[in-house]
Structure 1
Amino acid sequence: MRSTFLLLLAFVISTSAIFAQSLKLSGEVIDLVSKAPLEYVSVSLGNSSTGTTSNKEGKFVLIVDAPHRDDSIRFSHIGFETKTIALSKSIHSQGHAVFTLSPVSTVLEEVTVLPRSAAEILHAAIETTDALIAQNSILDVYYREFAYLDEELFKYADAAIFYKINAANKKPKVETFVAESRLIKDSVSSDEKWKSDVESLVDTDKSVKEFYTMDYLLKFVGKNQDMYFDFSLQDLGQVTKIEVNPKSIIRKYLPSAIVYIDQLTNQIQRVDYGYDSHLQYMPSINLFVLKYAVKKDWSTNIYNTGDRVFLRFSKVMQDIDFKLGKKSGVLRSNVEVLVTDGSVEADKLKDMSRFKNSSITKNGNSYTSRFWEDRMAIIPTAEELETIKLAL
């Protein structure tokens, strides 16, 4: 496992390398006032569909192909002024650049409004946003997952994948193609082999199936929504924040949502969902019956807005109480999906086979030595690197 960890470390320190055909720019985004790092900053290359998102430390990697070296970089984040910077030679030469975003100056006042008023605002934003989402699309994606058993990391997987999406019907049809993948897992003793039977219950295509379109969010503003949900609205200056929470007597059974809407374009920029459910059952796995109850199921979904809207980043966090044969515990899965290109040509898939398993860990290790250098990815934070090093 040590050699794999060293490869992970090499990824972190190699992100400023410049190649003949492309430039890899590593950067950090911070708050101009507080100097704190900014997570979930959407970083886009000019007007193209190419882009990335910053991690918890505000760090990101952006690959710029030769034809786009004279383009600009666009930074957008909830509560901050959008910033566009030319890809000048000075930025190229810095390797690791620090970018600052200015907070929007506004007085925040929370106002509770009638349910239908907030619902109408949200419904209009859903319609505006959904109309700009392509019905057919191929997304270039970096995917990663941390899997924990009783708070201890026992599996880490990441992959370069493509999602082929047909969203013409109400629920998107998604085909997954895996270009490269990597799996690091704990070396378990013979009496702990049962861990191999515990797979993530977060399907590889969950984010795009549920959150690619606005269909899931539309459930919050359906018929008789005021019977089930309470709404509150907050003006953040350039952004409207709407919180939707189930009535207290049914909170255990329905999801909640926090939605951020751009006031100028009426497009949805980000949605946070939260969900607790009651007991559920899974089919048998390796002759065992896996019984589980979802303790927590949260997701953060960031959309690339503009003339064309698509899911830029999705993070799903799920905690599950499970019983597998005579074993039981808490399984936690943290899954992140970063869409680095929202308009991939179909030729990219011509020599690839469709991935038919539900979990990316099933693909094992199949990657080249340039797995990190040739594509954009989520940079592991110092804490994540330390966790992987100690656990695996």
Structure 2
Amino acid sequence: MKKKRFLYILCLLLLFGIQGMYAQKPASYIEVKGKIIDENSKDALVFADIVLKDTNISTITNSDGEFVLKVPDSLTSKSIRFSHLGYQKKEMKISELLSNSKVTLKPALTELTAIEIKTFKNAEALLKETLKNRSVYNSNGTLMTAFYRETIKKRRRNASLSEAVVQIHKQPYSNFKNDDIELIKARKSTDYSRLDTLAVKLQGGPFSNLYTDIIKYPEFIFTNQEIPLYDFSFSESTQINDKLVYVINFKQKPGVAQPMYYGKLYIDAETLALTNAVYRLNVENRELSSQMYVRKKPRQVDVYPTEATYRVNYRTQNGKWHYAYSNILLTFKVNWKGKLFNSTYTLNSEMAITDWSINNTKLAKVKDNLLKPTTILADETSGFKDPAFWGEYNIIEPEKSIESAIEKIKKQLKRT
């Protein structure tokens, strides 16, 4: 099995970790909260983009379609732009949102013919052109502020919750240097009693999500050797921000034994930039797919994935595209030999870029706080005591189950 194509590693091992808690400067801001829904169906829109106009301050909706955006007092006169794949974009003044927190987006109607993709003889040719078309992405070094969250559930109950604010020292897309991640602030709580006396740990942390940036790291999914092993086809086109988007389906060819990915790629028709990708790993072969994720486990335990889903979104600013958000969802079966029942664990992580700036100086000068791709986030519960723990940093609004978990953590801390 190939080294780098695996975006996540599950570890079953004895308990250990590192700790990181860093201070931040105080700031003055307001919180804009709301929910984004489909204008017709009234369904919540998940992974919708929320951007403060003419800035790089942003966030994304959670699985309930809800969001919170922290806006500095000096920028409250600006508008907020809302967008979602397959919908018309919308702008609203902050004053409007403070009085009406529900935002509705209209589905974008797209009538297309095969003429619009006549430049490319097939979908594979379009993908290859997209992968080498790096000039439409940020060509400068950028310092990105991001919010990262990972959860581990045993069946449907939360067993671990980790959150962090990080700074990504993002190398230009024009070069092949790896990005660095600096830990700014973090908190974590783990109930080890729900983890079968073993710690289910996500090795890689924020790096796992960063590596879903297909344009920067194509080696994790589309190497020159692996592209011929896929079947590619065109699907019905759509829109984002009122612009045409090509849709490519891909899946491994019949007869290919190794686990590979299948899903959809969304490509901007004008710039040929990748705007979104949603894909899964084929986990039908338990033994081979297990080798891709399980790094360490006791001999008496069998572990294999039953689901592995990935999503990455890009955003455009000043005519250049950049990585904006990614989500990874993994489900594993853990079978103890000699036990009648097995356990099911769901591991979910997401990372959203909440602000960024061009940084032409040498990136990652400070080495002390830099994370390693093998990092496992620390066990640190104290942050849950403080409702204003994140200060002015933008985060992804917690979904209902995470809000419930945080409340339980607070109650436990009060008792202790």
> Is TM > 0.5 for Structure 1 vs Structure 2?
yes
1:50 maps to 2:57: yes
Structure 1 residues 110, 378: closer, same or farther in 2, change over 3 A?
A: farther
Structure 1 contact 126–218 (Cα < 8 Å) conserved: no
Q: Is this contact kept in 2: 1:40–1:55, CA < 8 A?
A: yes
Between 48-57 and 256-265, the greater mean CA deviation after superposition = 256-265
* Conservation of the 8 A alpha-carbon contact between 2:212 and 2:311: no
Instruction: State the one-letter code of the partner of 1:302.
Output: N
Which among 353, 356, 359 is matched to residue 342 of structure 1? 356
| TM-score, normalised relative to structure 1 | 0.77
- Taking the aligned partners of 1:294 and 1:130, their CA distance within structure 2 comes to 37
Runs of 5+ in structure 1 lacking a partner? 1-18
AA partner of residue 247 (structure 2): K
Match of 2:325 among 308, 313, 316: 313
What is the TM-score when the length of structure 2 is the normalising length?
0.73
CA distance in 1, matches of 2:391, 2:103: 22
Structure-2 separation of matches of 1:97 and 1:289: 52
CA–CA distance in structure 1, aligned partners of residues 85 and 271 of structure 2: 14
Structure 2 counterparts to residues 197-236 of structure 1, below 5 A = 197-201=199-203, 203-211=205-213, 213-216=215-218, 220=222, 222=224, 225=227, 228-236=230-238
User: Are 1:101 and 2:117 an aligned pair?
Assistant: no
Whether the 8 Å contact between 1:141 and 1:340 is mirrored in structure 2 is: yes
Amino acid at match of 1:75: F
Provide Cα deviations, 1:136-165, integer angstroms capped at 9, x if missing partner: 332211111110234542111111122223
Q: How far does the alpha carbon of each residue in 1:277-300 deviate from its partner, in whole angstroms, 9 at most, with x for none?
A: 513175557x87986433332111
Cα deviation digits, residues 115-136 of structure 1 (max 9, x gap): 9511222333344456413463
Aligned to 1:355: 371
Instruction: Quote the Cα distance in structure 2 between the aligned partners of 1:187 and 1:253.
Output: 31
1:230, distance to aligned residue in structure 2 (A): 3.5
Does the 8 Å CA contact 2:203/2:373 hold for their aligned counterparts?
Answer: no
1:194 and 2:206 are equivalent in the alignment: no
User: Structure 2 counterpart of 1:343, which letter?
Assistant: S
Name the structure 1 match of 2:91. Answer: 84
Question: What is the identity, as a one-letter code, of the residue corresponding to 1:45?
Answer: L
Tell me the CA shift for residue 363 of structure 1: 4.8
User: Identity percentage over the alignment?
Assistant: 18
Q: Is the 8 A contact 1:141 1:337 kept in 2?
A: yes
What residue number does 2:246 align with?
240
Contact 2:49 2:84 (8 Å CA) reproduced: yes
List per-residue Cα deviations over 1:40-83 (Å, max 9, x = no partner): 11111113222111112221111222332232222111111122
Counterparts in 2 of 1:160-175, with a 5 A limit? 160-166=165-171, 172-175=177-180
- Return closer, same or farther for 1:129/1:47 CA change in 2, 3 Å cut-off: farther
Does the 8 Å CA contact 2:146/2:355 hold for their aligned counterparts? yes
Please name the residue that 1:271 is paired with. Answer: 277
Q: Does 1:295 align with 2:302?
A: no
Query: 2:6: which partner in 1?
Result: none
Gaps of 5+ in 2: 1-25
Cα separation, partners in 2 of 1:64 and 1:146, compared to 1, 3 Å: same
Kindly state the Cα deviation for residue 86 of structure 1 after the two structures are TM-superposed: 3.8
SS of equivalent residue, structure 2 residue 235: strand
Counterpart contact for 2:136–2:320, Cα < 8 Å:
no
1:160-202 alpha-carbon deviations (Å, 9 max, x no partner): 122223357876523332222222222628xx7722x321245
Amino acid at match of 2:179: V
Q: Is the 8 A contact 1:134 1:309 kept in 2?
A: no
1:35 to 35, 42, 52: 42
The answer to whether the aligner puts 1:261 opposite 2:263 as a matched pair is no
Using CA pairs under 8 Å that are at least 6 residues apart, name the structure with larger relative contact order, 1 or 2.
2
Count of aligned pairs between the two proteins: 366
1:239-265 Cα offsets, whole Å, 9 max, x none, are 221111112322752112311123344
Is 1:184 aligned with 2:189? yes
